Amino acid sequence: MNSISLQYPDLGSAVLIKIFQIADILAITPKEATKIYLAIQAKKQNANIRKA
- 7-52: per-residue pLDDT in tens? 888 888 888 888 999 999 999 999 999 999 999 999 998 888 887 6
Residue 23 near residue 30 (C-beta atoms within 8 A)? yes
Alpha-carbon distance values, 2 to 11, 15, 38, 45, 46 (Å): 12, 13, 17, 27, 29
Task: Please check the confidence at residue 5 and state whether its pLDDT lies above 80.
Answer: no
- Specify the number of domains making up the chain: 1
Longest Cα–Cα distance in the chain: 38
What is the domain extent for residue 21? Answer: 3-51
Long-range contacts of 1-8 (CB under 8 A, 24+ apart): 2/30, 3/30, 3/31, 4/30, 4/31, 4/34, 7/31, 7/34, 8/34, 8/38
pLDDT band at 2 (very low <50, low <70, confident <90, very high): low
What pLDDT score does 43 carry?
Answer: 93
pTM above threshold 0.75:
no
